[in-house]
């Protein structure tokens, strides 16, 4: 249990050290989908903004970019369906 919490904390620290907003959003989506063990993330833009310290407007823009690339699908204001983890991983890892 402690090991899992430490691992999650390390992943979050790595995520927050990324300067590029799109890479940070992509990393967060990967992090969150692995934690919930599913493909649908249910969070508002404000929740994501608070979690990764990126402005809400930027979150919306970057989610739109990831949607156009085919990485995610958006449903309403709360649901994000992860469609292609490879695109998210490439976006995140190219900035780490």
What pLDDT score does 16 carry? 73
For residue 55, name the pLDDT band (cuts at 50, 70, 90): very high
Per-position DSSP letters for 16-74, written without gaps between them: HT---HHHHHHHHHHHHHHHHTSSEEE--HHHHHHHHT--HHHHHHHHHHHHHTTSEEE
The better pLDDT of the pair 5, 76 is held by 76
Residue 79 tokens read as 């649901």
Average pLDDT over residues 10-15: 72
CA distance 61 to 17: 20
Mean pLDDT, the chain, whole residue set: 89
Q: 65-86 burial string, b = 16+ CB within 10 Å, else e?
A: bbeebebbeeeeeeebebeebe
């Amino acid at each position: 249990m402690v090991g899992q919490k430490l691992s999650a904390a390390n992943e979050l620290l790595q995520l927050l050290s990324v300067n590029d907003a799109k890479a940070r959003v992509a990393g967060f989506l990967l992090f969150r989908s692995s934690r919930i063990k599913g493909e649908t993330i249910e969070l508002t833009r404000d929740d994501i903004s608070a979690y990764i310290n990126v402005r809400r407007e930027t979150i919306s823009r970057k989610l739109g970019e990831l949607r156009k690339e085919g990485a995610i699908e958006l449903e309403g204001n709360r649901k994000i369906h992860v469609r292609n983890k490879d695109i998210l991983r490439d976006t995140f890892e190219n900035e780490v």
